[in-house]
A and B are shown apart, each in its own frame.
Chain A
């Protein structure tokens, strides 16, 4: 579930407030949004893609909260790691041309 809105990185654009499919965030005027309904988070990681500042961290734990440390996340390369793996930049799509999903169908083991 969502655990971090980095106060140092957030540019208060509030893209996450609109883009969250579960309405987890609340806007705050001229300030970073707050995680108002953490338990509504469905751990879909999509807010990370829409964040132009790599300021959000969604823990993969779907049922429990964990305490995270921003500096440790940065050191481990985890802040913004989903967007980088996808090829999204500053909240904009990119990277589908590098999608190697077709390899999963090469062996003929599975077919759509």
Chain B
């Protein structure tokens, strides 16, 4: 019996060691997931947190340091941070959302200080709460989760959602180490699985393959902002370390040593050049004081250099751009102010959710995205708790049905020509190249869409898997699905705005200052958000005041 067929009949199997009843299931143990789980558990609910890797090292934050928006209420700092985000959002953010994220993050960073995260003290003797080291932050959160009674399932990717009368009611999956299947029945589910970077090797992102996006779509959830995903991070050409912050103090050159022309941002200058030849960087504008700050602040930034014998402050090194897809792009599950998706009982937080409310059409980078994860984790945890409380204890007796499709339940006979590595490569061929995805054109996007639609049809018919590769199979399907939502939205937005750069529509069109929704599995669609429900009124609007 395959893992898939084991998982299929979860409602009929007797409870076993690997079947859990919970009030809330959180899928994904990065910053958004750990906060969602902790918040829900603090309200006295039973919470299970599953993570495909390990709660502490999983997700993009764990591998790096992250800037945080730390701005006390009624401070000039707060006003400036809010104005900055608003000004950079290309007209698609929501001021009320920006304010509540900033305020929530301030409270939660203070929590971390109270819980013993050793924040550094600056030269003036003030604690600096504007940055977190990923591994330390998540290890602390893991301890808090244990203390709060959250059951953590490490190395346990979710493979499909369980549904009860159209509402999310749990999930089932597999343990990658033991190969045992697991099932969690719950009153509400929070998707906190992060974004999708298509195995680009951008730092800490190879576990981020859009898994939760696929699960949610199979339950009928829709997406927003998927076109704002042409986000790439600068890295040494040989290494994974996409820490962009150091390149603020860099000089970029071509093979012959001529400085690259700087029109637009750093990424665009490099992207244009990489189309024709190699590009190089040297971090030659950092003072000695700053160099020490970088070294003692961001040790992993220097691992590629120290281990290759390169001094990045004096020696130039080749650089490349690695796709950060929806991880540091914008798009994800469309959510309301409670982080609820359009599927009852299904909530989303962090990079799995669209960050348009906070960053509009532009990259959240590390700081805003990490702040978003912290804030929406808390919002989602609270809202899921309220949903379950409303539902009452009867949710434990609901009959559930497995919602997963492709890769678990093929329509036809096994197609032996379908090879996971080749499928992955085919998706990467549409999503990673700069001339296809950084610089987009209508015909190019449409050709990509046709190729991926063909692949989807083939996979739908004949992609099967064994317990050995079922998690990898679903990751591959999730990447394929995510790529198709991105393409649909990118085709639909016939202008350039923020992270969406159309060579055939280079201008921003004021008439298109609105969100695009996307969704579907066999028939993928994208269209402007039109109804009132789809574009909720700003939470409390100061737009005019800020614009004037």
Query: Residues of A contacting B67 with CB < 8 Å?
Result: 101, 112
What residues of A have a CB within 8 angstroms of the CB of B204 in the complex? 21, 42, 44
Q: Is A13 an interface residue (CB 8 A)?
A: no
Q: Which of B70, B118, B303 contacts A45 (CB 8 A)?
A: B303
Known: A18-B154, A59-B307. A101 touches B131 (CB 8 A): yes
Shortest C-beta distance, A24 to chain B (Å), equals 10
Question: What's the count of A-B pairs with C-beta under 8 Å?
Answer: 168
Encoded as 1 (CB less than 8 Å from any A CB) or 0, chain B from 170 to 194 comes to 0000001100000000000000000
Can you list, as one digit per residue, whether each of A2-33 has a CB less than 8 Å from chain B (1) or not (0)? Answer: 00000000000000011111110001000000
CA distance A109 to B286 in the complex (A): 12
Q: Check B203 for interface membership: any CB of A closer than 8 A.
A: yes
Query: Which residue of chain A has its CB nearest to the CB of B84?
Result: A111
Among B63, B176, B248, B306, the residue within 8 A (CB) of A44 is B63
Other-chain residue from A62, A97, A104 in contact with B293 (beta carbon distance below 8 A): A104
Segment of B237-245, B377-385, B398-406, B440-448 in the binding face: B237-245
Are A61 and B239 in touch, CB under 8 angstroms?
Answer: yes
Q: Is the CB of B140 within 8 A of A93?
A: yes
* CB-CB contacts below 8 Å: B214-250 with A: 236, 238-241, 245, 248-249
- Is A112 in contact with B207, judged by CB distance below 8 angstroms? no
Q: Is B120 in contact with A98, judged by CB distance below 8 angstroms? A: yes
* B69 interface contact, C-beta 8 A: yes
Chain A 51-63 against B: per-residue CB contact (8 Å), 1 yes, 0 no? 0000000111111
Q: Give Cα distance in the complex from A101 to B68, angstroms.
A: 12
- Assess the A21–B240 pair: CB atoms within 8 A: no
Q: Judge whether B147 is part of the interface by a CB distance below 8 angstroms.
A: no
Q: Is A86 touching B135 in the complex (CB atoms < 8 A)? A: yes
Stretch touching chain A among B17-25, B31-39, B54-62, B331-339: B54-62
Closest to B60 in A: A44
A88–B248 alpha-carbon span in the complex (Å): 28
The answer to whether B205 touches A112, judged by C-beta atoms less than 8 angstroms apart, is no
In the bound assembly, the distance between CA atoms of A20 and B54 in angstroms comes to 7
Binding site secondary structure of chain A: loop
Residues of B within 8 A of A110 (CB): 245, 248
Given the complex of chains A and B, what is the CA–CA distance between A23 and B156 in angstroms?
A: 11
Once the chains are docked, how many angstroms separate the CA of A26 from the CA of B248? 40
- Which residues of A, 38-72, contact B by the 8 Å Cβ criterion? 40, 42-46, 49-50, 58-63
Chain A residue at minimum C-beta to C-beta distance from B305: A60
Contact B290 A104 (CB under 8 A): yes
B135–A46 CB distance below 8 A: yes
Given contacts A62-B238, A97-B120, A112-B367, contact A82 B289 (CB under 8 A): no
User: Residues of B contacting A82 with CB < 8 Å?
Assistant: 299-300, 303
Given A20-B53, A112-B368: A104 touches B245 (CB 8 Å cut-off): yes
CA distance A18 to B142 in the complex (A): 14
Contact B303 A46 (CB under 8 A): no
Please state if A21 and B298 are interface contacts (CB–CB under 8 Å): no
Chain B residues near A22: list those with CB within 8 A: 53, 206-207
Q: Which of B69, B118, B203, B238 contacts A97 (CB 8 A)?
A: B118
- Contacts A96-B133, A112-B368 given; 20 further ones with Cβ under 8 A? A21-B52, A21-B54, A23-B53, A43-B239, A59-B307, A60-B304, A60-B308, A85-B299, A96-B120, A98-B120, A99-B65, A100-B296, A101-B130, A101-B297, A102-B122, A102-B130, A102-B297, A104-B290, A105-B130, A112-B68
Residues of B within 8 A of A (CB): 52-54, 56-59, 62-63, 65, 67-70, 80-81, 84, 117-122, 128, 130-131, 133, 135-136, 139-140, 154-155, 176-177, 201, 203-207, 236, 238-241, 245, 248-249, 289-290, 292-300, 302-304, 306-308, 367-368, 371
Q: Can you report 23 A-B residue pairs in the complex whose CB atoms are below 8 A from each other?
A: A18-B154, A20-B54, A21-B52, A21-B57, A23-B176, A23-B177, A42-B204, A43-B240, A44-B57, A46-B62, A60-B240, A60-B304, A63-B238, A93-B139, A98-B120, A100-B295, A103-B290, A104-B294, A105-B130, A109-B248, A111-B80, A111-B81, A112-B68
The 3 closest A-B pairs by CB, nearest first: A103-B293, A21-B53, A101-B297
